[in-house]
Chain A
Amino acid sequence: MKASRRELLLGTAALGAAAIAGNACNEKPKLPEDDPRYQGLLFLVPIEARTVDAWIEQLLPADHPPGTPGARAANVLLYIDKQLAQKHFTTIARGVRRAAVILQRAAVAQGAAHFADLDAPAQRVLLERLQQNQLAAFAEKTNTAKTFDTVLLLALEGYLGDPSYGGNKDQIVWRALGDSPACPKPLDANAHRHGHHE
């Protein structure tokens, strides 16, 4: 009888961590891109996802103002990835992929292994240049300014939009703002009619 995929998976798990660790010298080194957050996305491959994740955290950084969630806490990456996978975003998705490559190249040129490994100020410098169309290192024309703006707008949607799309996880941002688009209960309009004149 052929083992089902599920059994195989369970079997591997049953071998235990020790068995895998024992084999470590045969394993490829674990890459930051192997982070489970970057696996199984619809459009972005892990190395791009890691770039975009760092990028959007700079667009909407945590703790400014203090205690407020950033893009990462709101799952904005998941939102953006889902949007980019949609047919009508094909051109935009291509632009984001290109921009991720451009950022990664620029980071490598500075001696970093990955854009996300740069410290925050260095990431911001590259993003500013991306926004001003000053980073495209390729011969072909790439309007990274337009892509930057689109990613910003998508990030705002993922941050502040309806949680059903994967962003604004558990309404974390609406809760932080103290406002949500829920319809208030029908009012006793007469109680409020004419504001405070009556």
Chain B
Amino acid sequence: MKRFGTDEVDVCIIGSGAGGGPLALTLARAGCSVVILEKGPWYKAEDFTHDEIAISRRDFFVPYPSAEPHLLSRKQGDPLEPSSLGWTANCVGGGTVHMSGYVFRLHPEDFALANRYRGIPGHTLADWPITYQELAPYYDMVEREVGVSGKAGEYPFEPPRAGPYPFPPLAFNPLAARVDDACKKLGLHPFQTPRAIVSSAADGRSACVYCNYCGSFGCEVNAKSSTAASVIPKAIATDHCELRDGCMAYEIATDKEGRATAVRYITKTGERVEQKARVICVAATAIESARLLLASKSAAHPDGLGNKSGLVGKNLSFSTLAKVYGALERAALPDAERADHPIHFLQRSLQDDYFVKGRKGYDKGGTIVFQLAHRSAVYTAERLARRRTPLLWGEALKREIFRAYKDVIELEAEVFGEFLPNPHTFVALDASTKDKWGLAVAAIHVDNHPEDVAVSRVLADKARAVLEAAGARQLGSEAVGGTTFVLQHGTARFGDDKKTSVLDRHCKSHEVPNLYVTDGSFMPSSGGVPSTLTIMANSFRVGAHLAALRRNGALR
């Protein structure tokens, strides 16, 4: 890997996940000198075992709140409490390393929701300054460069696309046919869930081996399309990109005119270092990027970097979450479906209610993803215990655990909906609490808009009807109207008006001419899908803009 030292490079990117990786590749290919600073360690595929305790129940991916707390208030008026929620990851590749990899495009209507819901009070949605058509080519680029498997043209509500997916759809469990039949009975249009997992070998990566350990685990064969498995190695191979892991950026330095000059960071060994760069791109997640900008105060930027509008950290949105489940009794299934099939993917989704038919007023729905319950044993048992308040234990819990493995196959639906941004959901810097480096932490204030919670219920009921029609019994739900904290947006929203947005249409700060933000912060609305594909596509889009500037000698 090329080493640049701390003299001025073309671009310094903070964060190596969905928002940072595609940008790094585009810029490195354009010949820019690129330094990526990533606070977490650089894991290799062989570090990703199926040891559930180490990988998904300790601080392998997400820091302990004792070391790097967030403060979280889950409802307006509730006190702030230390939490690890709000972290997506802490490693090279960010949250893309241990995501499940359900990746969907936004729909064209998502770009103009403020207009559509003018009449609904209490939200702070804004229209996007770009259209679906402007983003679409970059969706294609993610699907190709990062690697997405799927099948185009299966359902009438599919967002427009130029052609087939670059990787054929993944294989699935025979029980998917039940979900198909159930949906069809109900007049719905299921489609195969697009996944950021390669179904055939590419770029030195193996095809998926269907080990069934995707969400909350890293991929041991690099089939999952994390940025660490896909774009980052390609960026490094250009010899124009250096990645420094274990480097925590804590301040962006500026000159008298208010231009960004350098990133200050703390290394693994505790050294404080300053990396100079012509252009600085922040991609540390919507929460951590806001924290960094708010912490970067100077005479020119007394309220935080690029924050004259006061909007940095405001308009935080997540994704609403509902989870519905039901059990198929093995004994009642035909032989072909009863046995444990080696493939655990169900690979079915629904977007019939991306806009809820027949709902008056607020009708923004979302996406239902069907899956077989994850087989991680501790996770399974914990979930069963948590289905009762207080937690279930003793004979009853043990019977449930053994039943889950021996007697039933559990079908699940996860529902992702628009999270309406509102005045009570935001990130602020809280100097009363410090992390292990002594830095002020992010305080996350959350409040749900009643309309998005109501729609989450409608979608959960729809999912429940499908599970029931598929033969599942003992239906239940978790977290209806809940929040998916790993999907984060809005804290530096883009727009054409500098009074109502932090970034311009190229994700450049309205106030700091060489500062860009490329994680989910730019998104003025969350979308009714998990957002990683959109963050990656936008990262490629901003990269293309910067690469064009470089070609014209205007990168500064």
Q: Are B336 and A187 in contact (CB under 8 A)?
A: no
Fill in one digit per residue for A130-160: 1 if any B CB lies within 8 Å of its CB, else 0.
Answer: 0110000000000001001100110011011
Within 8 A of B (CB), among A53-84: 58-61, 64-65, 68, 70
Query: How near does chain B come to A19, taking the closest CB pair, in angstroms?
Result: 46
Does B54 sit at the interface, judged by CB under 8 A?
A: yes
Given the interface pairs A131-B390, A164-B51, A181-B52, the reply to whether A65 lies near B213 with Cβ below 8 Å is no
Fill in one digit per residue for A153-183: 1 if any B CB lies within 8 Å of its CB, else 0.
Answer: 1001101111011000000011011110111
Q: Are A186 and B174 in contact (CB under 8 A)?
A: no
Does B171 sit at the interface, judged by CB under 8 A?
A: yes
Fill in one digit per residue for B29-66: 1 if any A CB lies within 8 Å of its CB, else 0.
Answer: 00000000000000000000011111001010000101
Does B237 sit at the interface, judged by CB under 8 A?
A: no
For A184, the chain B residues whose CB sits under 8 A away are 209-211, 342
Q: Are A61 and B395 in contact (CB under 8 A)?
A: yes
Does A29 sit at the interface, judged by CB under 8 A?
A: no
Size category of the binding interface on chain B:
35 or more
Does A197 sit at the interface, judged by CB under 8 A?
A: yes
Q: How many residues belonging to A are interface residues under a CB distance threshold of 8 Å?
A: 45
Q: Are B172 and A195 in contact (CB under 8 A)?
A: yes
Does B406 sit at the interface, judged by CB under 8 A?
A: yes
Within 8 A of A (CB), among B359-388: 375-378, 380-382, 385
Does A192 sit at the interface, judged by CB under 8 A?
A: yes
Does B176 sit at the interface, judged by CB under 8 A?
A: yes
Q: Are A196 and B177 in contact (CB under 8 A)?
A: yes
Q: How far is the CA of A148 from the CA of B342 in the complex (A)?
A: 37
Does A88 sit at the interface, judged by CB under 8 A?
A: yes
Tell me which of A58, A173, A181 contacts B376 (CB under 8 A).
A181
Q: Are B220 and A177 in contact (CB under 8 A)?
A: no
Q: Are B209 and A152 in contact (CB under 8 A)?
A: no
Q: Are A195 and B390 in contact (CB under 8 A)?
A: no
Given the interface pairs A152-B391, A192-B342, the reply to whether A181 lies near B66 with Cβ below 8 Å is no
Q: How far is the CA of A174 from the CA of B376 in the complex (A)?
A: 11
Does A194 sit at the interface, judged by CB under 8 A?
A: yes
For A157, the chain B residues whose CB sits under 8 A away are 53, 57, 378
Given the interface pairs A177-B402, A183-B211, A184-B211, the reply to whether A156 lies near B395 with Cβ below 8 Å is no
Given the interface pairs A160-B378, A174-B377, A183-B211, the reply to whether A195 lies near B173 with Cβ below 8 Å is yes
Does A189 sit at the interface, judged by CB under 8 A?
A: yes
Given the interface pairs A61-B395, A68-B402, A195-B177, the reply to whether A162 lies near B342 with Cβ below 8 Å is no
A-B contact pairs, 13 of them (CB 8 A): A61-B395, A65-B402, A68-B402, A131-B391, A132-B390, A148-B391, A152-B391, A162-B51, A162-B52, A178-B406, A183-B220, A184-B209, A184-B211
Given the interface pairs A161-B52, A181-B376, the reply to whether A64 lies near B171 with Cβ below 8 Å is no
Does B356 sit at the interface, judged by CB under 8 A?
A: no
For B375, the chain A residues whose CB sits under 8 A away are 179, 181
User: Besides the contacts A65-B398, A182-B50, what 16 more A-B pairs have beta carbons closer than 8 Å?
Assistant: A60-B394, A148-B391, A152-B385, A153-B382, A157-B378, A161-B52, A161-B378, A162-B51, A178-B406, A179-B377, A179-B405, A181-B213, A181-B377, A184-B211, A186-B209, A195-B177
Does B266 sit at the interface, judged by CB under 8 A?
A: no
Q: How far is the CA of A183 from the CA of B169 in the complex (A)?
A: 21
For A97, the chain B residues whose CB sits under 8 A away are none
For B377, the chain A residues whose CB sits under 8 A away are 160-161, 173-174, 177, 179, 181
Does A193 sit at the interface, judged by CB under 8 A?
A: yes
Query: How near does chain A come to B141, taking the closest CB pair, in angstroms?
Result: 25
Q: How far is the CA of A131 from the CA of B375 in the complex (A)?
A: 27
Q: Are A196 and B220 in contact (CB under 8 A)?
A: no
Q: Are A189 and B208 in contact (CB under 8 A)?
A: yes
Query: How near does chain A come to B491, taking the closest CB pair, in angstroms?
Result: 29
Q: How far is the CA of A174 from the CA of B401 in the complex (A)?
A: 11
Task: Summarize B's interface: helix, strand, loop or mixed.
Answer: loop
Does A105 sit at the interface, judged by CB under 8 A?
A: no
Q: Are A194 and B342 in contact (CB under 8 A)?
A: no
Tell me which of B54, B176, B385 contacts A156 (CB under 8 A).
B385
Q: Are A60 and B397 in contact (CB under 8 A)?
A: yes
Query: How near does chain B come to A90, taking the closest CB pair, in angstroms?
Result: 9
Query: How near does chain B come to A55, taking the closest CB pair, in angstroms?
Result: 10
Within 8 A of A (CB), among B331-362: 336, 340-343
Does B199 sit at the interface, judged by CB under 8 A?
A: yes
Does B393 sit at the interface, judged by CB under 8 A?
A: yes
For A165, the chain B residues whose CB sits under 8 A away are 53
Does B399 sit at the interface, judged by CB under 8 A?
A: yes
Query: How near does chain A come to B401, taking the closest CB pair, in angstroms?
Result: 8
Does A98 sit at the interface, judged by CB under 8 A?
A: no
Does B207 sit at the interface, judged by CB under 8 A?
A: yes
Query: How near does chain B come to A123, taking the closest CB pair, in angstroms?
Result: 10
Query: How near does chain B come to A160, taking the closest CB pair, in angstroms?
Result: 4
Query: How near does chain B come to A192, taking the closest CB pair, in angstroms?
Result: 4
For A124, the chain B residues whose CB sits under 8 A away are 394
For B399, the chain A residues whose CB sits under 8 A away are 64-65
Q: How far is the CA of A132 from the CA of B397 in the complex (A)?
A: 17
Given the interface pairs A153-B382, A164-B51, the reply to whether A187 lies near B210 with Cβ below 8 Å is yes
Tell me which of A70, A160, A162, A195 contacts B381 (CB under 8 A).
A160
**By CB atoms of chain B within 10 A, which of A124, A152, A173 has the most?**
A152
Q: How far is the CA of A188 from the CA of B52 in the complex (A)?
A: 26
Q: Are B376 and A156 in contact (CB under 8 A)?
A: no
Q: How far is the CA of A159 from the CA of B220 in the complex (A)?
A: 25
Query: How near does chain B come to A107, taking the closest CB pair, in angstroms?
Result: 18
Q: Are A156 and B394 in contact (CB under 8 A)?
A: no
Q: Are A189 and B171 in contact (CB under 8 A)?
A: yes
